Amino acid sequence: MILSMAHARCDQATSNHVFGIWSDLVVDERPAGLVDCYLLEADGGVQIASIWASADDHERAIADEMSHPAYVVFNAAGLDPAHTVFKVVGRLG
């Protein structure tokens, strides 16, 4: 399993715009291998955390930027996010 984290600093108006773009994704088809995805807001920015079934699924979504939720949202909002990928090595629950 892979955890993909993308984050960008932005003002509240842009954050509201990101939420609108995110809302459109809720009804769209999910890319193959996307297990779950979260939109997070903190002071001064937004984050998208995506859980992927495998590294291959994540890489395919990155190759097709229009299917990776972080690229879809941040590109549409005109933001250039930092993106970090983690291999999940443990889980509680």
CATH code: domain of residue 79:
3.30.70.100
Q: pLDDT (tens digit, 9 = 90+) per residue, 6-51?
A: 999 999 999 999 999 998 888 878 899 999 999 999 889 999 999 9
Determine, yes or no, domain membership for 92: no
Encoded amino acid at 78, one letter = G
Q: List the beta bridge partners of residue 49.
A: 5, 38
Q: Which domain holds residue 17?
A: 2-87
Domain count, the chain: 1
Is residue 46 in some structural domain? Answer: yes
pLDDT computed for residue 2 by the predictor: 97
Residue 45 in contact with residue 9, Cβ under 8 Å?
A: yes
What confidence tens digit (pLDDT) does each residue in 46-69 have? 999 999 999 999 999 999 877 899
Q: pLDDT value at position 31?
A: 92
The reply to whether 52 falls in a domain is yes
- Asked, for residue 14, whether it belongs to a domain, the answer is yes
**Residue 19, domain member (yes or no):** yes
23 inside domain = yes
Closest CA to 10 of 19, 22, 57, 2: 19
Average pLDDT over residues 65-88: 92
